[in-house]
Structure 1
Amino acid sequence: MPYMIKTNGLCKKYGTVMTVKDLDLAVPEGSVYGFLGPNGAGKSTTLKLILGLAIPTRGTITVFGKEVNSRSRLSILKNIGSLIESPSYYGHLTGEENLRLIQTIRQVPDANVKEVLQTVRLTQQKDKKVSHYSLGMKQRLGLASALLSHPRLLILDEPTNGLDPAGIQEMRELILSLPSRYQMTVVVSSHLLTEIDQLASTVGIIHKGELVFQNSLESLHARSSRRLLLGTLDNSRAANILRTNGIAFQESEDRIALPYAEDEEVASYVQLLTAEHVGIYRIEEDCKSLEDIFLELTGKAVSL
């Protein structure tokens, strides 16, 4: 599989604190890569390292198959768009005027300005001063600036921070449309589980500077083991009957937890217990939520 970004043993130390520890990222080409972790986990530092805004303490970074160093950095950055922390803009200029400045620096065609304004749905507000923009409009202008040169790689750090639900939905739809529209790879960092769950095809989870999970979103959800919870009127007797018949189970608070089974097998459990006069008042399917899995991976001490 071709990778747009690869890091090997990436570390960053500030003073005595190692904020990024031996990070081995692998971002597949054409994916939306969700970089997930609680606040302070090292997400922004990692993205700054990739963009050359911070210098690694040790380790290597490869983007577009080239190692990032002082000689290659500028040529690599020409094909990267980024929105790190909050967008920068000139408030006394209009949205279009802000983009025209970046157009001059990036040396891109006039058509690109019109195109990105349409992409982020700011065409109607392009002549309005940015100081009068809402937070959501400013975020979209920041995204337009990052898209102006049609980069191969787009890096977005917490792009929905401070947005209302409608703004979050709008930003999500925009991000999801980018890989097919521009044939680009998108890296999105977030501390919000639901956001990454609805955006990403590949997920990396960072905790205290260390990568604790990296794989497809489907692989993360596969950790959500399904089971059956049985509510009976006599759990102690039910447990003895199941044990005698060699049926694996666990006692879970006031329920009997059984491995997930198909309908016929569930019916046999019910028949076995009712034949022994054990009343069953509830059978329900249970599985770990994405949040449960995240907390397991990060040690359950993390506040989201």
Structure 2
Amino acid sequence: MADIIKTQGLCKHYGKTPGVSDLDLSVAEGAVYGFLGPNGAGKSTTLKMILGLVKPTAGSITVFGKTMNHRSRMSILKDVGSLIESPSYYGHLSGYENLRIIATLKGTPEKDIGRVLQIVRLENQKNKKTNQYSLGMKQRLGLACALLGNPRLLILDEPTNGLDPAGIQEIRELIRSLPKEYGITVLVSSHLLSEIEQMATNLGIISKGRLVFQSSLGALHQKSSRSIAIRTLDNHRAAAVLREQGVAVQSQQDYLLLPAFEDGELSRLTLNLCEQKVGVVRIEQREKSLEDIFLELTGSAVSL
């Protein structure tokens, strides 16, 4: 598929402090692209540059095949919806009235309000004042505002922040449905790997302003290397026996780590240990979790 967003060598420096460095982002049309990184990694700055809210120090941004600059910005943004940080509303007005104000500002027909209310499942709450909305309802109203005008691209910055588990589930299901049901490409940022894993098809990981991984979610899973962990009554003796058979062995706490053998080979090795009077008390298959891989790529222990 064609890239709906493409950045090349994108940089943003604040004085001598780099916020984003040499970022080459590729967001394919029809994807839910998860933009993942620790807080302060440069996610919001990148999204603001893509929207033309922050001027890059260097590099280029292409959206819908057009270069983003002050001349093209308005024509590009006609087909873009966004929700950056927390949405703001007139609390004394209803959800419908707030949407009508946004529709007027966007030049969108009022009849579109019913469509977006149905998408975010707020049609039964449209006449309720927004100061009586729950956090989840307010976030869905923010999405409704972003969806006015039927955009081709939706950019969301931490859309589940501050929500309870039920609210997170609502937003997650909604985002997952947008490409297939409405033809909308989604770029969504988060510092929570568990959130991105459950809704994204593609993934970019940013750390200290630099992109350290970009591919499909499946490609990230493939980085997860499997191993076999064996615990015996005499690990020192067991390691010697296994090395005599050419097996690479590493010690880890009370276990020996071996490569991920097929069942038949593992059975043979275990039988040989028993024949050498080494009692095997536990065998486990281990696999790096996505969290482990994320921490390796970003080099810091952050909220996952």
**Short-chain TM bin:** over 0.9
Letter in 1 for 2:196: I
Per the alignment, residue 13 of structure 1 pairs with: 13
Q: Equivalent residues in 2 for 1:81-230 (5 A)? A: 81-230=81-230
Aligned pair count reads: 303
Q: Distance in 2 between matches of 1:245 and 1:181?
A: 56
Q: Say whether 1:302 aligns with 2:289.
A: no
- Report runs of 4+ in structure 1 exceeding 4 Å deviation: none
Letter in 1 for 2:301: V
Match of 1:240, SS?
A: helix
Per the alignment, residue 62 of structure 1 pairs with: 62
Per the alignment, residue 261 of structure 1 pairs with: 261
Per the alignment, residue 240 of structure 1 pairs with: 240
TM-score norm. by structure 2 comes to 0.98
Match of 2:227, SS?
A: strand
Q: Distance in 1 between matches of 2:191 and 2:215?
A: 17
Q: Distance in 1 between matches of 2:156 and 2:259?
A: 41
- Answer with 86-95 or 278-287: which moved more: 86-95
Letter in 2 for 1:264: G
Q: Distance in 2 between matches of 1:193 and 1:34?
A: 9
- Answer with 124-133 or 43-52: which moved more: 124-133
Task: Give the C-alpha shift of residue 181 in structure 1.
Answer: 1.5
Letter in 2 for 1:12: K
Match of 2:21, SS?
A: strand
- Answer with 130-139 or 44-53: which moved more: 130-139
Q: Distance in 2 between matches of 1:302 and 1:8?
A: 29
Match of 1:248, SS?
A: coil
Task: Give the C-alpha shift of residue 149 in structure 1.
Answer: 1.1
Q: Distance in 1 between matches of 2:40 and 2:31?
A: 25
Match of 1:246, SS?
A: coil
TM-score norm. by structure 1 comes to 0.98
Task: Give the C-alpha shift of residue 107 in structure 1.
Answer: 2.5
Q: Distance in 2 between matches of 1:182 and 1:105?
A: 23
Q: Write out per-residue CA displacement over residues 170-216 of structure 1, whole angstroms, 9 at most, x where no aligned residue.
A: 11000001001111110110000100110111110001111111111
Per the alignment, residue 281 of structure 1 pairs with: 281
Letter in 2 for 1:112: D
Match of 1:89, SS?
A: coil
Letter in 1 for 2:157: D
Task: Give the C-alpha shift of residue 302 in structure 1.
Answer: 3.5
Q: Distance in 2 between matches of 1:20 and 1:246?
A: 47
Match of 2:49, SS?
A: helix
Q: Distance in 2 between matches of 1:71 and 1:169?
A: 39
Per the alignment, residue 49 of structure 1 pairs with: 49
Q: Distance in 1 between matches of 2:266 and 2:103?
A: 64
Match of 1:199, SS?
A: coil
Letter in 2 for 1:200: A
Letter in 2 for 1:303: V
Among the aligned pairs, what percent are the same residue? 64
Q: Say whether 1:249 aligns with 2:249.
A: yes
- Answer with 18-27 or 98-107: which moved more: 98-107
Match of 1:62, SS?
A: strand
Q: Distance in 1 between matches of 2:123 and 2:280?
A: 62
Query: Which consecutive unaligned segments of at least 5 residues does structure 1 have?
Result: none
Task: Give the C-alpha shift of residue 251 in structure 1.
Answer: 1.6
Task: Give the C-alpha shift of residue 246 in structure 1.
Answer: 1.0
Letter in 1 for 2:21: K
Task: Give the C-alpha shift of residue 296 in structure 1.
Answer: 0.4
Q: Distance in 1 between matches of 2:124 and 2:103?
A: 20
Match of 2:267, SS?
A: helix
Task: Give the C-alpha shift of residue 249 in structure 1.
Answer: 2.0
Letter in 2 for 1:90: Y
Match of 2:175, SS?
A: helix
Q: Distance in 2 between matches of 1:53 and 1:105?
A: 18
